[in-house]
Structure 1
Amino acid sequence: MTPQPVSSQGGIDADSFDAFIEQLRRYVRDRLIPAEAQVIAEDAIPEPILREMRDMGLFGLTMPAEYGGAGMNVSQYVEAIRQLSYALPAYRSITSINLGMVCSAIKNGGTDAQKAEWLPRLAAGEIASFGLTEPGSGSDSAAMQTMAVRDGDDWVLNGTKRYITNAPFAKLALVMARTSRETLPKNAHVSAFLVPMDPPGVSVGKSDRKMGQAGSHIADIMLDDVRLPADALLGGEEGRGFALAMQSLDNGRLSIAAASAGYGRRILDTAMRYATERRAFGVPIAEFQLIQAMLADSEIELYAAECMIADACRRIDAGEKVLRKAAATKVFASEACGRIADRCVQVHGGAGYLAEYEAERFYRDARIYRIYEGTTQILQLAIAKNMLREFASV
C-alpha cells in the first residue's frame, strides 16, 4: 500500500483507509480463502501469495511513511488485521509480528540508526520474530535465563527462546535477555536486542507440530556465544527491554483480539450457512430455537468484542496507557472465539467432528488465541494487579 496523507487523528486519511479495507476484504475472499486448502496441504503460504501480500504493503501497515510503510494508526492497523483474519490464521501470523510488536518496539524505543536500518526492511516484507518466551519462563521475567554479557564493544548472547512465531522464516529477532544476573525492580535486568538471524551461533530448531494453525510456524531460537555490536542493544540503553516488550505487547494483544474477532466472524458465517442448508424433520435446522440461540449468543459476543477492540484502539491512538484494557479485550475476544468455534461444531452435529468440514479446523485453530501474547489466566492477574494499584492510589 502506498503511504497516504495523514488524518487529523493520526494514521492515513479516512477515504484512503476505507478504499484499502475494501480492497483487502475482496482479496481475502477472492484470493486467500480459495488458497486455504493448498496452505493446509503444504503447511506453508505459497510464495506467489507472499509476494502479493508484500506488494499490497501488508508487512508495512504501521511503519512510518518515511521508512516505506503506510503509517496507519493502531485503530487502522487492528481493523486491517481483523479483516485479514477472516481467512486462515497463517496469513495474519506471517505479518503481525512485524506490525504489532517488532515495529512498535523499534518505533518507540529504537535509535534513529536502528529505525533507519530495520524499519524499511520490515516494511518491504522481511519477516521478524519476537523472542521473549523460554523453556523455563514466559511471563515470569525473573526466571529468564538468556544472558547478554558485555565484552569490550560487543555483546555476547547465550540462551534459548521457545515457541517463537515465524522463527523459521525470520531475518530479524527482537530478543529479550538479562543484562544483570541480579533480578532488579521493574524488570530492569532485562534488555532488548536486535538480533539478525545469520551471525555465527544463531540457530533455529525444527518447526514444532501443532494442534492447528496450519501454515504458521513456531520453533526454538538458540543463541550460542552470539557476538553482536554495541548498537544491537535496542535504544542503546540497558534495562528498558521488558518495558518495551510490554508496550509492544499491548499492540500484540489487540492484534490477537482482532484475529479472534475476525476469525470468529468467519466461524459464525460458516455455522449460519450450514444451519440454513442442513435439514432435519423437514425444515432447515436454522428454524430450531436452540440453534438460533447459539447463533444469537455468538453474534452478541462478537459485537461486544468488536466494541472493546474499537474502544481500546481509540484510547491508544489518543495517547492513553491501555495495558488493562488491551489485556481485557484480548481475554474477552479470544475466549469468545473459542466459544463460537465450539458452537459451530455443535451446530454441525456429528459432521462438526469430521475433518471434511471446516468446523473441526476452526475449533483447533481458535484454541491458541487464549494462549498467545499472555494466557487468559496471566492476563487476569495483570488486570487485577493494575486494578488494585489504581484503587490503592486513590
Structure 2
Amino acid sequence: MTQAAAREAAEQERLVLDAVDRFLERHVRPVASALEHADEYPHEIVERMKELGLFGAVIPAAHGGLGLSPSTYAKVIERISREWMSISGIINSHLIMAHIVARTGTKAQKAALLPRFATGELRGGLALTEPDCGTDLQAIRATARREGEDYIVNGTKTWISNGIHGTCFALLVKTDPTAEPRHRGMSMFIAEKGPGFAASRKLKKLGYKGIDSAELVFEDFRIPASRLIGGVEGRGMACAIAGLELGRVNVAARGVGIAQRALDEALRYSQQRSTFGKPIHQHQAIALKLADMAVRTEAARLLTEKAAQALDRGDRADLEAGMAKLFATEAALENATECMRIHGGYGYSPEFVAERLYRDAPLLVIGEGTNEIQRLVIAKRLIEQAPP
C-alpha cells in the first residue's frame, strides 16, 4: 500500500469510528442499562444501526456495503462492546452469514443477497448449534433431502442469535448423513423464514440480554436449491470455518471492549471511593489489580489487531484468531471479576455497570468455539508449523 493510500485508509477509519462513537453516545449509552435489565430487544438502536450502514460493515462496497477491513471492523466492535455488548452480537451474527456468502457464494447468490444484507432488509445469523451438538459440528442431525428443485429440511437448531427478530440464516445441515468423513456430507444454505421454519422460543440467559437467542425448528421446510451456498453439496464445514474466522476476531474484539470498560469503571471508582482516609487506588491491593487489568487489556488488543490484520491480507488466520479469542475473552472475564471486586458491594448492584460486565463476560469464553477448543486449535497449528 502506498503512503497516500495508507493515509486515505486511516482517514476513512477515523471517520467511521467517529460516527460510531457519536451513535453510541447519543443512542446507546442513555438506554443500555434499562433495555438490558428489561431484556428488551433494542428496536430503535437496530434502526439506527441500519442507517449507519453497520449491517453492511464488511460487505464489499460493490454490493452496497461499507467494505470495512477486518481491522477497522474489530475496532468498531470494541467500541460497541464497551457500551453494550449485546448489540455487537446483533450485527456480528448477521455479518458472519454475509461473510460466508461473500467468500463462498455463487455470483448469483452474491448479487441477490449481499445488497439486501447490507441495508438490513434481510437480517439474521448463523444456525450451527443443535440441542445435542455444540463444539462437534460434524455431529449435527438436521438434514436436507433433495426433492426436484428444492431441498426438504428437518431438524432443530438452538442458541441461535437473532433467532426471533432475524429473517434468514446460514443453515448448516447434513445432505448426506452416511458420508465419511462426516464433514463431506455437510452443506450450508441461506434459509429465509417461511412455512415449516419457526422460532419456537426465546432462551433466557444470565447475561447478553436484549439480543434474542432462540431455538429454531424445521419441519419439512422447503428451500430452493439455488440457496445452497456455493451451489455444490459437501462444502458446509468449509463455509462454517470461513465465517468463524471473522466471528472469532469479533468475539476477541468484544473481549477487548469488556476488558477496557471494566478497567475504566474500576479506575473511576477507585478514585471516588475512600477507605482509611485515602482513595482506594492508593492501597497497594487495588493498585496491583488496576495494573494487571491494564496489561491484560492492552495485550488482548494487540493480539486482536494481529488476527484482524491477517484477515486484512487474506491469510489463513485460525492460529491468530484462536489466540486472540482465547486471550481477549479470558482478559474480559478476569477484568470483569476484578472490577466487581474493586467496587465491593456496589459491584453486585444492578445500578452499576460492573454488575452487567460480570454477567456478560462469561459468554465470551464459551461462544464461537469454547476456549478449550481454541487451545487445541492453537496447539495443532503450532505442531504443523514446527520443524520435525
Scaled by the length of structure 2, what TM-score is found? 0.95
C-alpha distance in structure 1 between counterparts of 2:256 and 2:87, whole Å: 15
Aligned equivalent of 1:369: 364
Q: Secondary structure at the match of 1:86?
A: helix
Aligned equivalent of 1:79: 75
Question: Any gaps of 5 or more consecutive residues in structure 2?
Answer: none
Aligned equivalent of 2:50: 54
After TM superposition, give the deviation of residue 270 of structure 1 in Å: 0.7
2:85 equivalent to 1:95: no
Aligned equivalent of 1:207: 202
Aligned equivalent of 2:128: 132
C-alpha distance in structure 2 between counterparts of 1:119 and 1:231, whole Å: 15
C-alpha distance in structure 2 between counterparts of 1:335 and 1:196, whole Å: 35
Higher mean C-alpha displacement, 171-180 vs 346-355: 346-355
C-alpha distance in structure 2 between counterparts of 1:240 and 1:10, whole Å: 36
Aligned equivalent of 1:3: none
**What amino acid does structure 1 have at the position aligned with 2:185?**
H
Mapping of 1:143-154 within 5 angstroms? 143-154=139-150
After TM superposition, give the deviation of residue 47 of structure 1 in Å: 2.8
Higher mean C-alpha displacement, 348-357 vs 232-241: 348-357
**Is the Cα–Cα contact under 8 Å of residues 258 and 336 in structure 2 kept in the other structure?**
no
Q: Deviations over 1:7-57 (max 9, x none)?
A: 987997221221121221232233311111331244224433222111111
**Is the Cα–Cα contact under 8 Å of residues 60 and 70 in structure 1 kept in the other structure?**
yes
Aligned equivalent of 1:281: 276
2:99 equivalent to 1:109: no
Match of 2:238 among 225, 243, 263: 243
Match of 2:224 among 223, 229, 249: 229
Aligned equivalent of 1:179: 175
Alpha-carbon RMSD across the aligned residues, in angstroms, is 1.9
Residues 365 and 90 from structure 1, CA distance in 2 versus in 1: closer, same or farther, beyond 3 angstroms? Answer: same
C-alpha distance in structure 2 between counterparts of 1:341 and 1:131, whole Å: 29
C-alpha distance in structure 2 between counterparts of 1:41 and 1:361, whole Å: 9
Q: Deviations over 1:296-347 (max 9, x none)?
A: 1011011101111111111221121111110111010000100000100110
Mapping of 1:281-360 within 5 angstroms? 281-360=276-355
Higher mean C-alpha displacement, 252-261 vs 45-54: 45-54
Q: Secondary structure at the match of 2:383?
A: helix
After TM superposition, give the deviation of residue 369 of structure 1 in Å: 0.4
**Is the Cα–Cα contact under 8 Å of residues 89 and 216 in structure 1 kept in the other structure?**
no
Match of 1:141 among 132, 137, 141: 137
Question: Any gaps of 5 or more consecutive residues in structure 1?
Answer: 1-5
**What amino acid does structure 1 have at the position aligned with 2:172?**
M
**Is the Cα–Cα contact under 8 Å of residues 11 and 72 in structure 1 kept in the other structure?**
no
C-alpha distance in structure 2 between counterparts of 1:9 and 1:315, whole Å: 19
**Is the Cα–Cα contact under 8 Å of residues 45 and 91 in structure 1 kept in the other structure?**
no
Aligned residues: 386
C-alpha distance in structure 1 between counterparts of 2:68 and 2:145, whole Å: 37
Residues 9 and 227 from structure 1, CA distance in 2 versus in 1: closer, same or farther, beyond 3 angstroms? Answer: farther
Q: Deviations over 1:116-141 (max 9, x none)?
A: 12111111113212011111112213
C-alpha distance in structure 2 between counterparts of 1:277 and 1:93, whole Å: 33
After TM superposition, give the deviation of residue 150 of structure 1 in Å: 0.9
Q: Deviations over 1:225-257 (max 9, x none)?
A: 111111011010111111111111010000000
Residues 154 and 89 from structure 1, CA distance in 2 versus in 1: closer, same or farther, beyond 3 angstroms? Answer: same
Match of 1:170 among 158, 161, 166: 166
After TM superposition, give the deviation of residue 263 of structure 1 in Å: 1.8
**What amino acid does structure 2 have at the position aligned with 1:230?**
A
**Is the Cα–Cα contact under 8 Å of residues 312 and 329 in structure 1 kept in the other structure?**
yes
2:63 equivalent to 1:64: no
**Is the Cα–Cα contact under 8 Å of residues 10 and 73 in structure 1 kept in the other structure?**
no
**Is the Cα–Cα contact under 8 Å of residues 207 and 356 in structure 2 kept in the other structure?**
yes
2:118 equivalent to 1:123: yes
After TM superposition, give the deviation of residue 262 of structure 1 in Å: 1.1
Q: Point out 4+ residue stretches in structure 1 off by more than 4 angstroms.
A: 6-12
Structure with a larger share of its residues in helix: 2
Q: Secondary structure at the match of 1:321?
A: coil
Scaled by the length of structure 1, what TM-score is found? 0.94
Residues 250 and 206 from structure 1, CA distance in 2 versus in 1: closer, same or farther, beyond 3 angstroms? Answer: same
**Is the Cα–Cα contact under 8 Å of residues 12 and 71 in structure 1 kept in the other structure?**
no
2:211 equivalent to 1:216: yes
Aligned equivalent of 1:272: 267
C-alpha distance in structure 2 between counterparts of 1:293 and 1:29, whole Å: 31
Match of 1:263 among 258, 261, 273: 258
C-alpha distance in structure 2 between counterparts of 1:327 and 1:113, whole Å: 32
Residues 287 and 376 from structure 1, CA distance in 2 versus in 1: closer, same or farther, beyond 3 angstroms? Answer: same
Mapping of 1:21-36 within 5 angstroms? 21-36=17-32
After TM superposition, give the deviation of residue 363 of structure 1 in Å: 0.4
**Is the Cα–Cα contact under 8 Å of residues 81 and 258 in structure 2 kept in the other structure?**
yes
C-alpha distance in structure 2 between counterparts of 1:12 and 1:124, whole Å: 25
